[in-house]
Structure 1
Amino acid sequence: MPEKSPTTDAELLPRVAIAVREAGAVLRERFGEVVRHRTRDELTGALAANDDAALDVLRPLLTGLRPDARWVQDELAGGALPAGEWWVVDPAEGNVNHLRGLPGWAVTATLVRDNRPVLTAVHVPLAGETYTALAGAGAHLDGRPLRVSDTEDLELALVATSQARPDEDDEVVRRVGSSITAMLRDALVVRTSVPATLHLLDVAAGRVDAFWQFAGARADLLPGALLVTEAGGRVSDASGRPWTPASDGFLAAAPGVHAAAVATLSR
């Protein structure tokens, strides 16, 4: 008998997790030597080749699960989406790391309904880990519940940030630089690297206490926003207001350091 199609989000999530694992296996086979490039066009072509290889697996699987859900075509796009269901997918999150032979990359798929993420699956192939979250039902790592840290003092906190995209405008660059300087003064240790999603996995798992970013794409932030929220963390913009994909800043933190992180980023 054919497998029954999922009818609820809870039934859908395990199938989405399978899809990101299968796409991750394709990228794992392509990983290894540094991919050389001399021009921006060569780099863009190599990035697109990875994306296409993963999308060739992801798109038919996810479309089969939710035929009426639309697709966000540009993984670097931000802002609100039209009403309805959308797949927000990053087929090679941290793609530039993959091309450089570095380990920080993943595959993500998030179902967004009326601009709210309702489920997400993130697979980290080199670690063999799959993170999942379902709105109202918690966040998990390979079936084990996740919980943010209980750190209550920013001076004891490990915090992280990321560059949202290349070629940011001068105002975003200024804000990023000043925020890193402020956190270097107020937090214990500051990590700076791409991609955003891997930092947010660490916040959800309690390994990192806070993550912030200015600007940013939906595909970078929506999976981690749901994972951190479902793991008991707080998600806002950099000023402490409710975050949406249209916000110009993002902060995800353990409850005990969220207010202090807002104060630091607001200086």
Structure 2
Amino acid sequence: MAEQWQDVLDHAVAVAQKAGKVVREALQSDRKVSTKSSSIDLVTQTDQKVEQLIIQSVKETFPAHRFIGEESVAAGEPCDLTDEPTWIIDPIDGTTNFVHTFPFVAVSIGFLVNKQVEVGVVYSCLEDKMFVARRGKGAFCNGKQLRVSDQKDIHCSIVATEFGSNRDGGAVEKIFSSLRKVVCLPVHGVRGAGSAAINLCLVASGCVEAYYEIGVHVWDVAAGALMVTEAGGVLMDVEGGALDMMSRRILAANNRHIAEQIVGQIQAFTPQRDDAPPQQHRRFYPK
């Protein structure tokens, strides 16, 4: 008897590879850019094309499964996570990177059952790195098993974070206040790949000790979150409680000691939840 959800993992890897090829080809052509919630929350025709490719492929093989896709939600579909088998898709995590040809662009596919992530696939298209994880079976990149860093000293750590697309003055002030406190712990450095999925994979790979962000979405983190825990890391809310992937707040770290020290530096705020009624207003934004 085949192991449970292995067929899902195999299909997710195959469709992520196809999606990655579309992304790489699109980089050679003109990329028409639109916006969603603000002038810096970008979307391209490639985002939409890749999401349609993934959903159509999955529907043909798993017709009873549900979907939450970034572009589908932006178009008005509900972001309702049930106990049913659900694919959570970010067709291009790092759209701003894609628009500017900054080399960290990922296809992120998470698969949840009973609201628990069973399978995660993150394909860093331009690096040709395929990150995969299955609950209880470990996390791997191009076949090599991943382990988080064994660093226990926050002062010898690298922390990843992002500024997100929220430019509200109060939120920006809290983001910079938190960053200042983290830098002044001090830590070895602060980095950011411009992709939540890749930042989580960097934690899982042991390249950085921690990653935190306020303003991410469930499709940004579903797959990468499993990568972290299967590589031996921990996940929590930025204020130290249990992670709620619909809350748009996440802290991932190699161990709880590092995580708790970062929690003490974060000036948190609460964005609108992913499962709140959508309030998206898309318009054309010339490149």
- Considering the TM-score relative to the shorter chain, is it more than 0.5? yes
Structure 1 SS opposite 2:208: coil
1:36 Cα offset (Å): 7.2
Give CA deviations for 1:131-184 in whole Å, capped at 9, x if unaligned.
Answer: 0011111111112110000111111101010134x2354443333121111111
User: What is residue 179 of structure 1 aligned with on the other side?
Assistant: 178
CA distance in 1, matches of 2:109, 2:219: 8
Paired position in structure 1 for 2:91:
91
Query: How much does 1:248 deviate?
Result: 5.1
5+ residue gaps, structure 1, are: 1-5
Is the Cα contact below 8 Å between 2:177 and 2:267 reproduced in 1? no
TM-score (norm 1): 0.87
* Aligned mates of 2:32, 2:53 — CA distance in 1: 25
d(CA) in 2 for partners of 1:245, 1:60? 25
Distance in 2 between residues matched to 1:12 and 1:232, nearest whole Å: 23
Instruction: Output the amino acid matched with 1:258.
Output: A
Distance 2:41 2:154 in 1: 42
Q: Is the 8 A contact 2:159 2:190 kept in 1?
A: yes
SS in 2 for 1:97: helix
Considering fraction of residues, name the structure with more helix: 1
Q: Distance in 2 between matches of 1:98 and 1:264?
A: 31
Q: Which amino acid aligns with 1:262?
A: V
CA distance in 1 between partners of 2:62 and 2:265 (Å): 42
What SS class does the counterpart of residue 264 from structure 1 fall into? coil
- State yes or no: 1:265 paired with 2:261: no
Displacement, 1:213? 0.6
- Whether the 8 Å CA contact 2:51–2:69 is kept in 1: the answer is no
Aligned-partner SS, 1:160: strand
Following the alignment from structure 2 to structure 1, what is the Cα–Cα distance between the partners of residues 60 and 48?
18
Aligned to 2:161: 161
Change beyond 3 A, Cα 1:40–1:261: closer
Corresponding residue of 2:15: 19
What CA distance in whole angstroms lies between the structure 2 residues aligned with 1:90 and 1:40?
16
Q: Which amino acid in 2 is paired with 1:22?
A: K
> Contact between 2:68 and 2:79, CA under 8 Å: does it hold in 1?
no
Structure 1 residue 60 corresponds to structure 2 residue 61: no
SS, match of residue 111 in structure 2 = strand
CA distance change for structure 1 residues 79 and 73 in 2, over 3 Å: closer, same or farther?
closer
Name the structure 1 match of 2:148: 148
Which of the numbers 43, 46, 50 marks the counterpart of 2:46? 50
Is the 8 Å Cα contact of residues 201 and 224 (structure 2) preserved in structure 1? yes
RMSD: 2.7
Segment drifting more, 114-123 vs 242-251: 242-251
* SS at structure 2 position matched to 1:26: helix
TM-score (norm 2): 0.81
Relative distance call for 1:46 and 1:244 in structure 2 (3 A) is: closer
- Cα distance in 1 for residues equivalent to 2:227 and 2:133: 5
Q: How many residues get paired?
A: 259
Q: Moved runs in structure 1, 4+ residues, more than 6 A?
A: 43-46, 76-80
Shift of 1:204: 0.4
- Give the 3-state SS of the residue equivalent to 1:222 in structure 2: helix
Q: Secondary structure at the match of 1:183?
A: helix
Matched-pair contact (CA < 8 Å) for 1:157–1:208: yes
Alpha-carbon distance, 1:222 to partner: 1.3
- Aligned partner of 1:196 in structure 2 is 196
State the distance in 1 between where 2:137 and 2:11 align: 16
Letter in 1 for 2:146: L
Q: Contact conserved, 2:210 with 2:254, CA < 8 A, in 1?
A: yes
Q: Does the 8 Å contact 2:42/2:95 carry over to 1?
A: no
Q: Give % identity.
A: 25
Alignment-derived partner of residue 3 in structure 1 = none
How many Å separate the matches in 2 of 1:142 and 1:205?
A: 12
1:68 deviates by 1.2
2-structure distance, mates of 1:26, 1:236: 34
1:17–1:121 CA contact under 8 A, matched in 2: yes
Cα distance change, pair 233–127 in 1 and its aligned pair in 2 (3 A): same
